[in-house]
Amino acid sequence: MPPAPPADARAELAQILAAALRTLAPDHAEAAIVLDRPKHAGHGDYACNLALQLAKPLRARPRDIAVRLVAGLPRSPVLEKAEVAGAGFINLFLRRDYKQQVVNRILEEGRSYGSLALGRNKRVQVEFVSANPTGPLHVGHGRGAAYGASLANVLAAAGFEVTREFYVNDAGRQMDILALSAWLRYLAACGVAIDFPGNAYQGEYVRRMAQAIHARHGDRFHRGVTAEVFGPALSEPDEERRLDGLIALARRTLGEDYATIHDYALNEQLEDCRSDLAEFGVSFDHWFSERSLFDTELVGRALRILEERGHAYHQDGALWFRSSAFGDEKDRVVRRENGQYTYFASDIAYHLNKFERGFDLVIDVWGADHHGYVPRVKGALAALGLNPGQLTVALVQFAVLYRNGQKVSMSTRAGDFVTLRELRQEVGNDAARFFYLLRKSDQHLDFDLDLAKSRSNENPVYYVQYAHARVCSLLEQWAGDPAGLAAAEVAALASEQELGLLARLMEYPEAVEDAARDLAPHLITFYLRELAAQFHSYYNATRILVEDDATQRARLALACAVRQVLASGLALLGVSAPEKM
């Protein structure tokens, strides 16, 4: 029995091109072989510009090189023919029977179709969202959540061992501001009228926390304070110093009970964040506490390593990291003159911890406004003696929400924002997850609520899900056993539309591979939209439940393969595949 043809057509074609290249130009055998999908079917299933790359080093016309490469291609069970086009492109056409067999392979492999060994079980950590637990998640956080969760799914499908992590900023100034905000609102409930700082957290959720504290503890945290006690702190003209003064006052007044207010606010917001993300279909393997970096003295140890390696120095009572030596625009303070560590010091220790846990690759998902922070953190890794190349930072642009054509402004401290929970309730999880991934993560995204809620072909998630539901309805009309279609004879799939669908189905593993290599799960949304469009067109133009049994079974098998790939791709995005719509 002859061996089965290779499942990865792109890899097979790259191999035979490489063989031809070794014969033609052995000194250039390491040249990159890139295979692209042509936009027009008449240009083949794949196109390669290898001859154009070799023209200069070989001092020959690209077309002449292409002709010689094509002549030197070894026989392959996947290749029907190769043609030279234009200035020297090589167009490659797959055998029809090879394309047809993808239907049987998809139905046999099921959800595992598209799974790859690209990652070779390398351990990768994806850290995403990591929002300060100072308020409800908003629609901006939602884009990072959708991106990070889908990226992790894609990497897992590509053969990586993935750990999903949320970094909890539970030791910084923002938490102190939230604790202060809750206490001031609590005092108002106790009858103490204070001018609430404009740069404290204003949201209604802060009032609700304060009311809950008062309901549980009564006047315990009042301490007999009056509005006059706050006079000196409130008179400070600088807003941020005013907050620091109020925080210091709260600490002195409450003593050990300050931790009670602080931890209550932290736990309330963290639990809200956990449940919100879980409802959004976003889960984490590990919630990492910033406090633990101090409890284990890792921050101090990381800074000592920097000092011992000559990358930190003392000046004006503070400790500085010599980050300018690693591409940063200036050196950075890691421990202030008052002995307090900076946020950057925590980040250095956190990244040291990541690599001490043995990850082969670390991916941080940050907001695009943190792009200037990248060389600083990578520089710290190099200074610690680690490989900064093992850290990749994926930037996510803020999502701008539009309702009825009007932009919605958002400010977390002011409490003027649309929460992720509100967004989900309005458009649903599926639309939210899909719409967040309609564009590359570092590109601007306008989130159109009206479109997301519409049940029309203009709504991309509806359009893709409807293709899946259409196949389910078709199978219900047929009333046969879909499991038996895995062995269907598929030679009847020979029309232009059918061959186009077969080619598109073959692209799915490539889409997964490209999405994993480029850290770009939006490529899956692009792929699914194209597959759905082709299927809708085919469904509208072709009668599937025909009288001829062989043709009917072949077309039903093709439809089932489309359904499987749609379901698998939607699962990577965290989107459901409904059977009825």
DSSP per residue, 123-138: EEEEE-----SSS--B
**Distance separating alpha carbons of residues 10 and 28, to the nearest angstrom:** 21
Look up the pTM and report it. 0.93
Q: What does the pLDDT read at residue 401? A: 85
Q: Which CATH architecture has domain 100-118+457-573?
A: Orthogonal Bundle (1.10)
**What is the fold of 9-94?**
Gyrase A; domain 2 (3.30.1360)
Q: Range with the lowest mean pLDDT among 38-42, 161-165, 386-390?
A: 38-42
Q: What does the pLDDT read at residue 411? A: 52
Whether the per-residue pLDDT at 308 is higher than 50: the answer is yes
DSSP 82: E
Q: What does the pLDDT read at residue 575? A: 98
Q: pLDDT band for 404, please (50, 70, 90 cuts).
A: confident
Q: Do domains 9-94 and 100-118+457-573 have the same CATH topology?
A: no
Q: What does the pLDDT read at residue 74? A: 95
Q: What does the pLDDT read at residue 4? A: 67
Percent of the chain with pLDDT over 70: 98
Q: pLDDT band for 416, please (50, 70, 90 cuts).
A: low
Q: Annotate 363-418 with DSSP letters as a single string.
A: EEEEEGGGGGGHHHHHHHHHHTT--GGGEEEEEEPPEEEEETTEEPP-BTTTTB--
Length of the chain: 581
Give the chain's mean pLDDT. Answer: 94
What pLDDT, in 10s, does the model give residues 108-144? 999 999 999 999 999 999 999 999 999 999 888 999 9
Task: Output 420-428 pairs: Cβ under 8 A, ≥24 positions apart.
Answer: 420/136, 420/137, 420/138, 420/139, 420/141, 420/142, 420/145, 420/276, 420/280, 421/136, 421/137, 421/276, 421/279, 423/139, 423/142, 423/447, 423/449, 424/279, 424/280, 426/453, 427/452, 427/453
Q: What does the pLDDT read at residue 322? A: 97
Whether the per-residue pLDDT at 409 is higher than 70: the answer is no
Q: What does the pLDDT read at residue 440? A: 96
Helix (H, G, I), strand (E, B) or coil at 214: helix
Whether the per-residue pLDDT at 291 is higher than 90: the answer is yes
Whether the per-residue pLDDT at 304 is higher than 80: the answer is yes
What pLDDT, in 10s, does the model give residues 53-80? 999 999 999 999 999 999 999 999 999 9
As a whole number, mean pLDDT of residues 227-254 equals 93
As a whole number, mean pLDDT of residues 169-182 equals 94
What pLDDT, in 10s, does the model give residues 460-516? 999 999 999 999 999 999 999 999 999 999 999 999 999 999 999 999 999 999 999
| CA dist 293 → 131, 157, 299, 344, 488 (Å) | 18, 32, 6, 12, 59
Whether the per-residue pLDDT at 1 is higher than 90: the answer is no
Residue ranges covered by each domain of the chain: 9-94, 100-118+457-573, 173-271
As a whole number, mean pLDDT of residues 440-455 equals 93
**Distance separating alpha carbons of residues 26 and 1, to the nearest angstrom:** 35
Q: What does the pLDDT read at residue 413? A: 45
The alpha-helical segments, DSSP class H, found in 428-521 are 429-436, 449-453, 460-478, 496-517
